[in-house]
């Protein structure tokens, strides 16, 4: 099992599962918070994106650019946001991985020499059995205490049905965006992704209002 960054986990709210739709099926995947060490220059576009410092400010606030991290040793990971019919896919970690039972967005680590775009396609294929295409970078999340930077991609499914890897995923669910916080236990990376989705939705509404 690959390493994952340490993130503080608040106590889960009781009875939250009762407010959700039934799971699609049991299965597996990895958490969206893993990476491999790297230093110096990188070809990954995440270095030029805005970042969210989840340790010191609200996740929707940009706090630094890629140049600030260039000389540090950090680990890179990817998060995938797959939305279909108005619902977003979340996965629950299996009993065989770290933080068992925790809900999060699918994703994983970036291999040495790999771009985040290639990494998210590979991870979703390995863990969920589907072919996806990254369509838009939503931003990046910085976890300074863990030394991770996570690139967040909105992806679209091109082929395949969900066949999660049971070694890593206990369950998958399609959740309405406004209900994500009811089961994600306040994991910092989850909170940051939710903030990105909220900001994206606000931009869409603003664009429609100006037409």
Q: What is the pLDDT of residues 122-166, one digit of tens each?
A: 999 999 999 999 999 999 999 887 888 999 999 999 999 999 999
**For residue 85, what pLDDT is reported?**
96
15 phi and psi angles, rounded to 5 deg: 75, 15
**For residue 201, what pLDDT is reported?**
76
- Placement of tokens 């108005």 in the chain: 86
Query: Does residue 35 form part of some domain?
Result: yes
Query: Does residue 13 form part of some domain?
Result: no
Partnered with residue 117 across adjacent β-strands are none
Q: Which of 54, 53, 55 is nearest to 63 (CA)?
A: 53
CA distance linking residue 5 with residue 8, whole number of Å: 10
Q: Which of 52, 6, 11 is nearest to 33 (CA)?
A: 6
- Placement of tokens 């082929």 in the chain: 159
Query: Does residue 8 form part of some domain?
Result: no
76 touches 46 (CB < 8 A): yes
**For residue 24, what pLDDT is reported?**
33
CA distance linking residue 76 with residue 47, whole number of Å: 10
Please state, rounded to an integer, the average pLDDT across all residues of the chain: 72
**Percentage with pLDDT > 90 across the chain:** 44
Query: Does residue 44 form part of some domain?
Result: yes
Q: Which residue has the higher pLDDT, 202 or 5?
A: 202
CA distance linking residue 38 with residue 159, whole number of Å: 32
DSSP 25: B
95 touches 101 (CB < 8 A): yes
Residue range(s) defining the domain that contains residue 55: 21-210
Query: Does residue 160 form part of some domain?
Result: yes
**For residue 171, what pLDDT is reported?**
94
**For residue 107, what pLDDT is reported?**
93
- 3-class DSSP assignment, residue 137: strand
**For residue 51, what pLDDT is reported?**
42
183 touches 90 (CB < 8 A): yes
Q: What is the pLDDT of residues 5-42, one digit of tens each?
A: 455 444 343 333 333 333 333 333 333 333 333 333 33
Query: Does residue 3 form part of some domain?
Result: no
Q: Which residue has the higher pLDDT, 210 or 78?
A: 78
Q: How many CB atoms lie within 10 A of CB 157?
A: 17
CATH number of residue 81's parent domain:
3.90.79.10
Query: Does residue 1 form part of some domain?
Result: no
**For residue 145, what pLDDT is reported?**
79
Residue 79, both tokens: 């998060």
Q: What is the pLDDT of residues 99-119, one digit of tens each?
A: 889 999 999 999 999 999 999
Query: Does residue 140 form part of some domain?
Result: yes
- Placement of tokens 């996570």 in the chain: 150
The tally of domains found in the chain comes to 1
């Amino acid at each position: 099992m690959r390493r994952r960054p340490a993130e503080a986990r608040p106590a889960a709210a009781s009875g939250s599962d009762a407010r959700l739709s039934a799971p699609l099926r049991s299965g597996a995947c990895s958490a969206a918070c893993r990476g491999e060490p790297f230093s110096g220059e990188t070809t990954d576009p995440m270095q030029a994106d805005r970042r969210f410092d989840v340790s010191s400010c609200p996740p929707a606030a940009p706090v630094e650019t890629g140049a600030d991290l260039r000389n540090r040793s950090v680990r890179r990971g990817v998060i995938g946001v797959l939305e279909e019919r108005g619902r977003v896919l979340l996965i629950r970690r299996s009993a065989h991985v770290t933080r068992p039972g925790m809900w999060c967005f699918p994703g994983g680590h970036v291999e040495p020499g790999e771009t985040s775009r290639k990494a998210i396609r590979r991870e979703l294929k390995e863990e969920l059995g589907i072919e996806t295409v990254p369509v838009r970078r939503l931003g990046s999340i910085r976890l300074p205490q863990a030394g991770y930077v996570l690139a967040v991609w909105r992806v679209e499914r091109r082929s395949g049905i969900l066949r999660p890897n049971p070694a890593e995923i206990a369950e998958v669910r399609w959740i309405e965006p406004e209900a994500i916080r009811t089961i994600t236990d306040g994991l910092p990376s989850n909170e940051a992704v939710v903030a990105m989705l909220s900001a994206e939705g606000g931009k869409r509404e603003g664009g429609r209002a100006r037409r």
